[in-house]
A and B are shown apart, each in its own frame.
Chain A
Amino acid sequence: MVAVVRSGQSRSTLHDMSSHGERVERVWEVFRQEDEGDPMIHSGNVNAPDEELAIHYAREFYGRRGESHRLWIVPRESVLELDDPDLLKPPLDRSHKKPGGYIIKHKLEAAKARAGEGST
């Protein structure tokens, strides 16, 4: 079994073209929590040369209207990605792992009927 784990590095090479010793911008993914206790949901990303500016930009784009309780700002290359369907959506029946995999309506009716017969 081979897990395909990719980092985001493959697509950010364009921003590394620094010819005159300039600071290199890189991509930071931004996650937003709308209210206390809510899940952190991916919002988008910003391009910034350092942590300080990444935080400023994230605040500017994803928190200017009071719409966020908390932001997570993560360098894209730190995100590990797994999207292999062989691992995540295997072509096998997984219904026994889900509540909907247990259809009990008719069995319950039969069991109740049986119990009803027994009591008379």
Chain B
Amino acid sequence: MDDADTIQPLNSRPRYAPGDSDAFYAHVGSGGKVEADDWMPDEYRAAVLKFVEMHANSELMGVLPERDWIMRAPNLRRKLALTSKIQDEVGHAQLLYRVAEDLGKPRVQMLQDLLDGKTKFHNVFHYPTKSWADVGIIAWLVDAAAIVSQQALRDSSYAPYARTMKKICWEESVHIMHGRDVVLTLMNGTAIQRAMVQEALDRWWGPLMQMHGPPTDPAKDKDLHWGIKAKNNEQLRQEFLSIYVPRIRELGLTIPDAALAHDDVSGRWQYTEPDWAELKSVVTGHGPASQERLDFRRDNFAETQWVRDALLGTATAA
């Protein structure tokens, strides 16, 4: 038979008809993507919405610890970098609320639920900040832990979310460099400055280890099955440790966990079991700074009502 007569392989991705949940899950289970306009089962829509809304809330609340340091930044360049990072994070919140809005929940309702404590935001944003070193540790390590999970989300089955994550990851990489630069500058400074970084690391390590959440049973993790997220909690934590433990230790910093060690046989990091009770308490609004942060957002929401009125109110006579 002549080569040119060979039939080429055809488009083989399983398609699904509206209303056919089984075919839909076969589609996303085999790496297929879903667009905002496509039909999707209600439980898939609800799961993506919950995931993206929590992410958006975290971006919005995450700027508050850093906001406290704008007026105390040590020089103009640091102040510009910090304000720019904060502007980026609020922008991420806006992009993500937009993705969530397209799934059917109005933005104002999402903000109201956040202020009412009905929806959550990441544990690390429920803690107070105490020194300038916190700004470095947050921008370097909290953003690093976040980017590990965000990079995996670039493969999400919900395509508008995956595309948004590509843009967000690009911006987060700038934040990590800014944070690492702040930490390196302090580590090259005085003994007091080095002690300040160590003290900040000691406080943030626990929340950092809790941040990706407890290990879940992959068989029961719907978000994983449906491809909403591509990696499980423990995979993300292991990835974070593999990249950042060496980078922390090479600066002469001590990670406050005597049990932390890499097991060369299993290829995994071993560590003291993170305090999952603390994680649960903190994300349900009982963290040391939870209510203070929510109060700030409540006041801010009331104070900016006139802006929303001006933008959306009835147009006055031309």
Contacts and interface: CB of A to CB of B under 8 A. Distances in A.
B311 A49 contact: yes
A102 B12 CA distance: 22
A85 interface: yes
A117 interface: no
A101 B4 contact: yes
A14 B98 CA distance: 13
Contacts of B312: 22-23, 25, 49
A91 B10 contact: yes
A38 interface: no
- Taking residues whose C-beta sits less than 8 angstroms from the other chain, chain A's interface range is 35 or more
A76 to B, nearest CB: 10
Interface stretch (B101-109, B135-143, B273-281): B101-109
B91 interface: yes
B79 to A, nearest CB: 18
Contact of B37 (A10, A45, A85): A10
A15 B106 contact: yes
Contact of B167 (A14, A43, A47): A43
Interface in B85-122: 87, 91, 94-95, 98, 101-102, 104, 106-107
Contacts of A22: 312-314
Contact of B8 (A11, A47, A93): A93
A44 B8 contact: no
A23 B106 CA distance: 15
Given A22-B312, A22-B314, A103-B4, A44 B37 contact: no
B3 A91 contact: no
Contacts of B8: 93-95, 100-101
Chain B residues touching A, range = 20 to 34
Given A11-B102, A14-B106, A49-B312, A44 B11 contact: no
B311 A53 contact: yes
A6 to B, nearest CB: 7
Contacts of B101: 14-15, 47
Contacts of B193: none
Given A14-B104, A93-B8, A23 B313 contact: yes
Contacts of A81: 37
Q: Of B106, B167, B312, B314, which is in contact with the most chain A CB atoms at under 10 Å from its CB? A: B312
Nearest to A60: B91
Given A8-B37, A89-B11, A44 B4 contact: no
Given A10-B37, A15-B101, 19 more contacts: A21-B314, A22-B312, A22-B314, A23-B313, A27-B102, A45-B98, A45-B102, A47-B101, A47-B107, A60-B91, A89-B11, A93-B8, A94-B8, A95-B7, A95-B8, A102-B4, A103-B3, A104-B4, A105-B3
28 contacts: A6-B37, A8-B37, A11-B36, A14-B106, A21-B314, A22-B313, A23-B312, A23-B313, A23-B315, A25-B312, A43-B167, A44-B98, A44-B160, A44-B167, A45-B102, A47-B98, A49-B311, A60-B91, A61-B91, A64-B91, A85-B11, A89-B10, A91-B10, A91-B11, A93-B7, A95-B6, A101-B8, A104-B4
